Every structure is written in structure tokens, then in C-alpha cells.
Amino acid sequence: MTTYKLGTRGSLLAVTQSTLIKNEIERISGEKVELVLIKTQGDQITNKPLWQLEGKDFFTKELDEALLKGEVDFVVHSYKDLGSERPEGIKLAAVTERRFAHDILLIPQATINELKNWNGPFVVGTSSPRRIANLKHSLSDFIPGSPQIECETLRGNVNSRIKKLRDGQYHAITLALAGIERLAHTEKSAAELTELLQGMNYFVLPQSVFPSAASQGALGIEMQAARQDDGKLLHILSQLAHPKTVEEVYRERKAFKEYGGGCHLAVGIHSKKIGDDFLHVHSGEVDGVRIEKRWLENSSYPKISGKIFVGLPHGSLEDVLYDEYLTKVPETKSLTLEKKHLFVTSRYCVASLKASTAPEGLWAAGTRSAQMLAQEGFWVNGTSDSLGTEDLVVLKTSKALKIIHPHIETEWNVLSHHQATSDLGTVIGCYERVENKITEEFRNALEKVDAFFWTSFPQYQAYLLKFPEIERAHHFCGLGKTWQEFKAAGIKVHTVASMEDFYQLRK
């Protein structure tokens, strides 16, 4: 049996995630792994944001030296800590599967209770230029009462940051969810985390508005490039690689480098593989200029020369035809939800939500729904980012979120229309689609439509049944449940990253 030395930083999080890798390697290989703790400059300097310090590689330089000297056999990093330029002689052996790549806003429940009477700024602790830029720009829209957001310096390990929040130094703090999640996976660190998170609540920040750091959530495992052991260690480590994650973080790190890189970069970069395509989201600031980009890689679309239809009940664009055929009529249902998590799919569900007891957790289908709920005074725990329920199904399994919300893994309730289905839990119908009488003017306008953007698959089905001639047009939708249902039905549809992208196709 070979004993390998794994180099790691000495912080609780670094040791915890290295221990998870150690256990997995021992499981798949039968070899033994010994942790070697190495202090880094970034761990020792905690009174200043890293972007204010001279130099670079604050969390990796000492590990690099130990690896190149042969003092350790391989090292484990949070991949986002690795710069785009790595020392000669070091090889990336594996990038592990990432889950929970989001940032998370932690907030005491007592602070949430005070929001309806809030006066003054809302102070969020973070030292990341990326987080500062996006929190100041957008967070207010997701908080009841829309307070002014201010950010103050927050450094230290995960536990010390949460302690500072508990001590009242901030109203909320922002952390990487992946880091908290790893701490929740080992007995000792989970016990400490459980105590720290008592009385806390959270908002999982949507990637479409608050994209995480490039390669956040993944671990990078490095070894000496010239190691002479017949490739045995490389073979072992390569078994931990995750191809989908590799594809996503490659794109993120490429964009990170193109922006100039460095810990001072104030741009969040997130790439998500959806089907055979990649959704890209960049948000932040570069040289004082706001960056807002969201697009699908390698997408090609038909030329649109005629009128367009958007499946919303109304809108402000004069040259767009809106849905005059179907009207959504809300109902009011009184629900008992104390030990349930509730997924709200539409603004037409708010009447039922207001009539019900407060759920343990509240989630929205998209960012606009989340903002609307915040305006109504509700605290929202996260969104599906208009991408279906895939991310929420994963978040339900989070051990960290379960510390705060013990019933998150149990079946959820879903507020939607009466014919809806969901893989999240029990659907409670709270609005109906009603057919309106069609005017001759609307029918004539519909005949001139060249492209339709559908907000749901049942909407498309209802229109096709009433107006079969629309089948000859181009059909579009977003990347969520509507697209999944079109695909399951075998109907050709073009996907766009956002409705704004659909509007741009006219130009």
C-alpha cells in the first residue's frame, strides 16, 4: 500500500474539503492518504481585502512550493483560488464535480422580521469586488422594503465570518454556498456550523443576476507534471474528474482571463451546460462600466421579417402582439404550510400565498417573480432562475440548507395552474386559464406573425388548437420547463437566453 501526502491549507474549510478528497481516493484506490497542513499568506492576512494587497497567488504560493519540492504528492485547491497562470512543472490532474456553485446571503431571522420598519442602509459583509458590484446594483430589488445596500469588509474563514454576523457587525453576509456545504458534510465541522446557523435564514443568490466567481464550487487537484511513478497517481486522481464541470469552468476561466483576471476583478462569470449548449452569464463592473451579458453559445436563429408574438397578457412595445386569447384568473386558497417549502410559479399565485400560513421556505420560478414577492413583503429563499427545476432539485439535498430548514428535503408544495405537474412536489392549482372571445382584428394580426415566444407549453397547445395555421411560424421559448415540454413532445422550438434576446432578433 502506498501512502500519498496531500498538501492543503490549514483552514477548517480547506481541511474539510481535502478530507473529503482523501476519503474518496482511499475508497477508489485502496491506497492511504495523509494530510499535510501548509500555511499560506492569504490565511495569515485577514485585516485587509486581498485586492488591496501587493502580489498574487495568496492562497496557493506556499502549496506550489511544497509540491515542486516534492514535500507533498498532490494538493487540493478551491479551483477559483487558482490563477490563470500556473507555475511551470505543475499539472492539473482533475477538476471535481461542482454542486451548489451559487453565492448565498445569510441573514438573521430577527433582521428579516424588522425589514417592514427598516430605516437607513442595509449593510452586507463581503470583501469581494465582484460581490460588492452586484450586490449594490441588484440586491435591493430582492429584499422587502428595498433598502439601500452598503457593503463593508469581511475577511476570515467561514466560521469566523458567520460569528461576525451573529455579533451584529453586519445585517447580512455573502459567502460561497459550496464552502458551507462542504463544512456540513463532516461531523465535527457540521456540529460547529449547526450552532452558528441557529436563528439564521438565507437567500440563494440567482446566477442570472449574481453570477459566482469563475470555477466556484469545483475543486482543482494538482500534482507535479514530471512525476515519475508510471502514471499511477495521475490515474487515481483522474477518476475524480467530472467532464461537464470541466467544460463549464473552462469557459468561465477563459472569460476571467480575457477580463484581465486577478482578485480585483469585479465581474461574476457563470457558465451552465444545458442540453448540448452553454448558457453564459457575466455581470459586474470593469473600469467603472457596467457589464450585463447573458447568451447561449453557438446558437443560430432564423431570420424574422414579420410581426412577433409574445405570450404575455400585455406589454409596452407597439409592434408586438400580446396574448389576448387566454386570461389567467387567480383563486384564493388557504393553505397550512408551516413545515413545507413552497415553489411559486406565477404572480397569479400571490392571492393564495397571502391567504395561507407562512411556509418554512419560499422559492420563486424566476427573478422577476422573486422581486414581486419581495415587494409584497415576503422573504424569498431562492429561485429556479427560469431554468426549470433542476437546480432546486439539487438544492433540496443540501445538508447546509437543511441545518436552517430541517424539512427542505421533504415534498414541497407547488403553486401553479390546475393542470400543472412538477417534480418538486404536490401541485396546488390556484389559477385557471380562461379563453376569451377573439376579435377579427386580433385574428388578422395573428396571421401576420412570423415568430412566437411562448411562456408555457399549454399556452402553445391552446393556440395551436384554436389557430392551427400558426404551426408554419417560428416558435421560441426560454430554457426552462416550457422548452423541456416542447422537447418531450418532439416539437421544434428555438431557445433563447432571455425574452430580451428574442426581441433583438427583429433587428
- Tell me the DSSP string of 315-344: -S-TTEEE--SEEEEE-------TT-EEEE
Which one of 57, 81, 323, 501 is the catalytic residue?
81
206-243: burial string, b at 16+ Cβ within 10 Å, e else: bbbbbbbbbbbbbbbbbbbeebeeeeebbebbeebebe
**Exposed, middle or buried by CB within 10 Å (0-12, 13-18, 19+), for 292?**
exposed
- Tell me the DSSP string of 230-275: TTHHHHHHHTT--HHHHHHHHHHHHHHHHTT-STT-EEEEEEEEET
CA 26 distance to own-chain centroid: 31
| 230 is annotated as an active-site residue | no
DSSP 439: P
For the chain, the maximum distance between any two Cα atoms, rounded to a whole number of angstroms, is 82
Provide the phi-psi class of 416: left if phi over 0, else alpha when psi is between -120 and 50, else beta: beta
**How far is residue 23's CA from residue 33's CA, in Å, rounded to a whole number?**
8
Sign for the CA dihedral angle at 128, 132, 135, 140 comes to positive
**How far is residue 394's CA from residue 101's CA, in Å, rounded to a whole number?**
11
- On whether the CB atoms of residues 277 and 466 are closer than 8 A, the answer is no
Q: From residue 68, give the alpha-carbon distance in Å to each of 55, 62, 76, 223, 361.
A: 20, 10, 14, 9, 48
* Active site positions, annotated: 81
